[in-house]
Structure 1
Amino acid sequence: MNFPHEKIYRTEKDFLGEISILQDAYYGIHTQRAVENFSISNRSTNIHLIHAIVEVKKAATMAHLKLGSLSSDIGNAIIIACNEVLQGALSDQFILDPLQGGAGTSSHMNVNEVLTNRALELLGHEKGNYEVIHPLHHTNFSQSTNDVYPTALRIAAIRLLRPLSEACAELQNSLQLKENQYEHIIKLGRTQLMDALPMMAGQSFGAYAQAVARDRWRLYKVEERLRQINIGGTAIGTGMNASLKYIYTITDILQDTTKLGLARSEFPMDITQNMDVFVEVSGLLKSAATNLFKIASDLRLLNSGPKGGIGEITLPSVQIGSSIMSGKVNPVIAEMVCQMAMKVMANDYAITLAAMNGQLELNAFTPLIADTLLESLEMMTKAILLFKEKCIDHIEINEEVCKKHLSESCAIATALVYHIGHDCASQLVKKAQKEDKDITAVLKEEKLMSEEEIEKILNPYVITKPGIPGI
């Protein structure tokens, strides 16, 4: 007799011994051991990676069915289990910490066990009845963690890279719209936080758009390096226990089912042991993060105030800014983007360390690479879309503030250099600053040129374009 809420267990064993598993659990002994060994981060393996592993499992099973090396009842049950997981079922069964020893073996076995036990259930058998369907003999037939996991990571990375590239395109478009919207407003440009030359407000957004465009193109192109897969290479890339027919068949099936343009590596051992492609992708994410940080930081600075700072732009108010200061609103979206960028940069360093510490025929630290790379891809995509929707799209230029700062600055004195020389222009600036006058007034006082010449040379809409003002 079972009492209410009484937990029922089944016993599973491996060559290390026996362990009790919850009867309702679809995972098995390998997963349970990993839970006990690696629970450190309170997070689970990225679901995109899990689904990509399942896609590889499905393709392997389809290949064996096509080759007649796996019985149809077992194969079809595994495929149905794969389809269910890919549609979102059993997601609570993938419980392993992303940081784990074994080059990803634990997460791989987690998938093997869940698919196997669901397939057993579909055929009317109890979970754990591995004499009928075995996680290794059937679900893992002709496979190894060392070809499944890297192949799946490439699939997951491509799937997350594409929406990131699209997000960059959306941000670029928003910045270009702002460039056009504010092309008529003149403002003060700054170098090293000091007054520099006049510029059009739209030009700053145009420069940001160009930087984002480069990032978009780099991220779009790097997908090519992710398309080579080592599936069929098994443990070290030599292909032991995988027939050539199987290797070619599973590659063809993956090409068809994923629609990602995957290609079989001509040297699977390279893909098995070398993780440099992920360093390359991460490096491009870091490059994009650098530009995003710079843009967000600029916007925070130009938004500062509203009375005690620069205040040349106004960022949208999305939430109150203080628990004690009434009426305070902070540039929180820009701050979020900056923190995302810092995290991506930190992740890039972790990926670099993990990739360079691979040894001989395998990299034991691939789980760290997978966890941080996929996190960066997802995080950056979400941050960019929020940045666009909650910040860039609603930025307003404070035209009167821009005019005031420009008129009070001596920035336009540089336009005089060709006509009166650098030393003379510098003396005019010095006098204007000392007497708190604008440069035009001082120039008229000194009678160095006519008012018509002054107006022609110092036309603010001329000095924001190439050429020598007044010529």
Structure 2
Amino acid sequence: MAQGTRVEHDLVGDEEVPADAYYGVHTVRAVENFAITGSTIARFPELITALAAVKQAAAQANRDLGLLPPDIARTIIRACEEIGAGRLHDQFVVDPVQGGAGTSTNMNANEVIANRALEILGHPRGCYDAIHPLDHVNLGQSTNDVYPTAVRLALVASLRRLGDSLRALATAFTVKATEFGDVLKMGRTQLQDAVPMTLGQEFTTYAVMIEEDRQRLTEAAALLLESNLGGTAIGTRINGHPRYAELACRHLADISGEPVRPAGDFIEATQDCGAFVQLSGVLKRVAVKLSKTCNDLRLMSSGPIAGLGEINLPPVQAGSSIMPGKVNPVIPEVVNQVAFEVIGNDLTVTMAAEAGQLQLNAFEPVIAYSLLRSLAHLRAACDTLATRCVPGITANREHLHDTVHRSIGLVTALAPHIGYAASTALARRALATGRGIKDLATEAGLLTTEQLETILRPENLTGQAPLPEPLTTT
């Protein structure tokens, strides 16, 4: 690596830049100004790849329109392709949370691409007479169309990965649902005994909820594929060729593999953050339902003696430094905490979107940061739950069987046959004596043993067979 510094100049004055850096003066200023999160935009490789794709599409469009000399365009395109393949991501050093509506991120990309292009042509870094970060790499663009387009592409890429993780988690619950298909248990409402169901039905519910959320993510992704690229500063397309927006979006679709399309109204698209708010709401929905599922897993596995004790979660680590033998539900707990974070991020996105004024929202950086973190952490949480917890869950079958037959919830199945009043009296007697509903009903002559056997068959109790017709009793 080269030693020392080089001097670059901007409107503020001269600034020393590390001689071996691919970034330049604007990036150095941003690093000095925005030390907020302790991380850099390189934390989100999807964003760096998306920035490179946008810059490549812009160079191809400008080449096609005769605005960018072919040799310069070719070199810029090569530099973008290298970054898209994973090179030089360590040179994207600005903080993701920054003032300026994303200008620092755009400048960082312009400078890295320009200096890599210069290097390809044999020029030293910082020799911008040959290839300039703004006059060439940023030609026909503004932060206000580059940055949101790149953010949208990055979010879509991350959404695809979260979708894959949700599908794997839904599959894990489906496998368990099949395994537990014959395990009868008591369902509960308001934490009180309700009516019987199977543990398989309970786990099927989790799989269905997760799959529904995955579909909602697909819908949210479609909204993000509308781009204001070519709208430049506020959507009026100032300094842009009339055909640039169409060409740039076409090239961007080819590069990214996503059906990117030009916005219907560029001025509206430049200031509107509605798609981000929509996505954030869907991520909150995912988080809420994942957290509810994990609450259930923790509650059902509570004990092992003094709790519900219906299922066992796989023991993955010791649970206490003072209580030997204690094992905690640490995987569901960590998923809960991710959910809390995502719900908080949704409020950040909401407030940032609302705070935009007139033709631009200056707060898109914190929107992007919040959404990209939510996506990454949800994906990791789903993967952790799907691999470290769900496959190892076991059922306490005998305990579940006993609780069903000791529960007064069975009386609900008798109500259509003996009436609500008689069922209530039977339930009260069962609670007072500790005896089972079936024995008490037989003893009272309310139903015959044969009738009770039919009514209380597991498949009848759990809705897995046609319900028997109400009996005529005297």
With the shorter chain as reference, the TM-score category is over 0.9
- Structure 1 residues 461 and 470: alpha-carbon distance in aligned structure 2, compared to 1, 3 A threshold: farther
Give per-residue Cα distances to partners, 1:436-461, cap 9 Å, x unaligned: 22222322332333322333333343
Q: State whether residues 12 and 28 of structure 1, in contact with CA within 8 Å, keep that contact through their aligned partners in structure 2.
A: yes
Please give the secondary structure, in 2, of the residue aligned with 1:333. Answer: helix
Instruction: State which of 213, 216, 221 in structure 1 corresponds to 2:214.
Output: 216
Distance 1:175 1:388 in 2: 8
Instruction: State which of 344, 357, 360 in structure 2 corresponds to 1:362.
Output: 360
Q: State whether residues 52 and 155 of structure 1, in contact with CA within 8 Å, keep that contact through their aligned partners in structure 2.
A: yes
Give per-residue Cα distances to partners, 1:71-106, cap 9 Å, x unaligned: 233222222221221222222211111110000000
Residue 415 (structure 1) aligns with: 413
Distance 2:448 2:229 in 1: 79
Instruction: State which of 182, 185, 193 in structure 2 corresponds to 1:184.
Output: 182
Identity %: 44
AA paired with 2:262?
Answer: R
Residue 427 (structure 2) aligns with: 429
Please give the secondary structure, in 2, of the residue aligned with 1:461. Answer: helix
Query: What does 1:89-168 correspond to in 2, within 5 Å?
Result: 89-168=87-166
Residue 384 (structure 1) aligns with: 382
Structure 1 position 408, deviation (Å): 2.2
AA paired with 2:15?
Answer: I
Query: What does 1:232-271 correspond to in 2, within 5 Å?
Result: 232-271=230-269
Distance 1:311 1:166 in 2: 32
Give per-residue Cα distances to partners, 1:2-21, cap 9 Å, x unaligned: xxx99511111112111111
1:39 aligns with 2:35: yes
Instruction: State which of 443, 446, 450 in structure 2 corresponds to 1:445.
Output: 443
Instruction: State which of 6, 9, 12 in structure 2 corresponds to 1:10.
Output: 6
Q: State whether residues 225 and 277 of structure 1, in contact with CA within 8 Å, keep that contact through their aligned partners in structure 2.
A: yes
Residue 337 (structure 1) aligns with: 335
Distance 2:469 2:183 in 1: 19
Structure 1 position 168, deviation (Å): 2.0
Distance 1:82 1:297 in 2: 46
Please give the secondary structure, in 1, of the residue aligned with 2:376. Answer: helix
Residue 27 (structure 1) aligns with: 23
The size of the alignment, in residue pairs, is: 467
Structure 1 position 241, deviation (Å): 0.5
Structure 1 position 470, deviation (Å): 6.1
Give per-residue Cα distances to partners, 1:313-360, cap 9 Å, x unaligned: 111122222222222221111111111111111111111111111110
Residue 84 (structure 1) aligns with: 82
Structure 1 position 468, deviation (Å): 4.8
Distance 1:290 1:444 in 2: 45
Residue 172 (structure 2) aligns with: 174
Structure 1 position 292, deviation (Å): 0.8
Please give the secondary structure, in 2, of the residue aligned with 1:128. Answer: coil
Residue 406 (structure 1) aligns with: 404
- Structure 1 residues 335 and 469: alpha-carbon distance in aligned structure 2, compared to 1, 3 A threshold: farther
TM-score of the two chains, using structure 1 as the length reference:
0.95
Please give the secondary structure, in 1, of the residue aligned with 2:129. Answer: coil
Structure 1 position 47, deviation (Å): 2.6
Structure 1 position 173, deviation (Å): 2.3
Distance 2:424 2:28 in 1: 76
Deviates more, 1:304-313 or 1:121-130: 121-130
Distance 1:460 1:276 in 2: 49
Give per-residue Cα distances to partners, 1:51-84, cap 9 Å, x unaligned: 2111111111122222222223322222222122
Q: State whether residues 312 and 395 of structure 2, in contact with CA within 8 Å, keep that contact through their aligned partners in structure 1.
A: yes
Give per-residue Cα distances to partners, 1:179-238, cap 9 Å, x unaligned: 222111111111111111111111111222221121111111222211111111000011
Q: State whether residues 154 and 227 of structure 1, in contact with CA within 8 Å, keep that contact through their aligned partners in structure 2.
A: yes
1:74 aligns with 2:72: yes
- Structure 1 residues 383 and 469: alpha-carbon distance in aligned structure 2, compared to 1, 3 A threshold: farther
Q: State whether residues 49 and 85 of structure 2, in contact with CA within 8 Å, keep that contact through their aligned partners in structure 1.
A: no
Give per-residue Cα distances to partners, 1:15-49, cap 9 Å, x unaligned: 21111111111111111111111101101123311
Deviates more, 1:441-450 or 1:111-120: 441-450
The unaligned stretches of length 5 or more in structure 1 are none
Give per-residue Cα distances to partners, 1:130-183, cap 9 Å, x unaligned: 222211111111110000011111111111111222222222222222222211
Please give the secondary structure, in 1, of the residue aligned with 2:459. Answer: coil
1:205 aligns with 2:203: yes
Distance 1:255 1:213 in 2: 27
Residue 467 (structure 2) aligns with: 467
AA paired with 2:31?
Answer: V
Distance 2:12 2:427 in 1: 83
Residue 298 (structure 2) aligns with: 300
Structure 1 position 425, deviation (Å): 1.6
Q: State whether residues 49 and 86 of structure 2, in contact with CA within 8 Å, keep that contact through their aligned partners in structure 1.
A: no
Instruction: State which of 266, 277, 280 in structure 2 corresponds to 1:282.
Output: 280
Distance 2:125 2:209 in 1: 54
Structure 1 position 393, deviation (Å): 2.1
Distance 2:425 2:128 in 1: 90
Q: State whether residues 148 and 231 of structure 1, in contact with CA within 8 Å, keep that contact through their aligned partners in structure 2.
A: yes
Residue 311 (structure 2) aligns with: 313
TM-score of the two chains, using structure 2 as the length reference:
0.95
- Once superposed, what is the RMSD of the aligned Cα atoms? 1.7
AA paired with 2:146?
Answer: V
Distance 1:123 1:233 in 2: 31
Residue 373 (structure 1) aligns with: 371
Deviates more, 1:53-62 or 1:165-174: 165-174
